[in-house]
Structure 1
Amino acid sequence: MSKNRNNRLSGEMKRVIADIIRKEVKDPRISDLMSVTDVNVTEDLKFAKVYISVYGDSEPTLEALQSAKGFIRREVGRNIKMRITPELIFVKDDSIEKGIYMSSLIDKVINKEAGKRDDNETESE
């Protein structure tokens, strides 16, 4: 399968899965502050990794999605016409936390450099 087709299918699955979770899955363990950040479909269309970002504790949301994955898969098959509906694998997406951590490290370095410049300017005067 071409890379372009795989990317389009991943994007369409991302949209459909997010709609299904938001509108049709009625599990109270699923956080309102949850989003589907990405979907990666394998070349043979047997598996799809669904990356989930949750604000706060993500474990109850991931457990709820695991228990509803058969329903979600069936609904994906109904909404997207495919010969094979991939098995869904829900994965916590921690890229946002990693980005925040990297941003804080960068801010620390900038503040440290600014402190050194201030020290150098006061010594030269």
Structure 2
Amino acid sequence: MEFLRSHRVGEQIHKEISALLVRGLKDPRIGFVTITAVEVTPDLHLARVYYSVLGDDKSRAATQKGLESSIPYIRREIGKHLRMKYTPDLMFKFDTSLEYGNRIESLLRDIHEKSSDDQGDSEKD
């Protein structure tokens, strides 16, 4: 029961933050950000918000700082839309799963290319 509630609250927080990003936060450091997941603790006091951003490490660091400085505003907006006794604290974390997936895809592509090259070489013999 508790897991279901934290999951539902996480989904609502995800929607609210995504909507805020679409409408645009006024911080120029926040670029093209996508909220990938929100995990809420069972006691509903902390929400880990995972995001990805287009760009290099410099833009990622700037986005992290921009998001962290926007936490009070984002919490206030979430509090207005979610009718809860306590609005969860927010913690923004960069989502590395996309990079990890791209790396695995690249490795698999390399293996596939090597195996087709090896098969082509053996057919010539």
Q: Scaled by the length of structure 2, what TM-score is found?
A: 0.92
Conserved? CA contact 1:21–1:72, under 8 Å:
no
Distance 2:48 2:71 in 1: 12
Distance 2:92 2:82 in 1: 19
Does residue 12 of structure 1 match 2:19? no
Cα pair distance change 1:107/1:24, threshold 3 Å: closer
**Paired residue type of 1:48:** A
Matched with 2:111 is 109
Matched with 1:95 is 97
**Paired residue type of 1:11:** E
Q: Deviations over 1:2-49 (max 9, x none)?
A: 322222211111000111233252111110x21111100000111000
Structure 1 segments of 4+ aligned residues over 6 angstroms from their partners = none
Matched with 1:54 is 53
Percent identity of equivalent pairs:
35
Give the number of aligned pairs.
122
Conserved? CA contact 1:50–1:88, under 8 Å:
yes
Distance 1:12 1:46 in 2: 15
Does residue 120 of structure 1 match 2:122? yes
Q: Deviations over 1:47-72 (max 9, x none)?
A: 00001110112111110110110111
Conserved? CA contact 2:21–2:33, under 8 Å:
no
1:16-55 matches, within 5 Å, as 16-23=16-23, 25-31=25-31, 33-55=32-54
Match of 1:38, SS state, is strand
Unaligned runs of 5+ in 2: none
Distance 2:107 2:50 in 1: 25
**Paired residue type of 1:26:** K
What is the deviation of 1:91?
0.4
Distance 2:112 2:12 in 1: 41
Q: Deviations over 1:66-114 (max 9, x none)?
A: 0110111111111111111110000011211111111000000001111
Unaligned runs of 5+ in 1: none
**Paired residue type of 2:37:** D
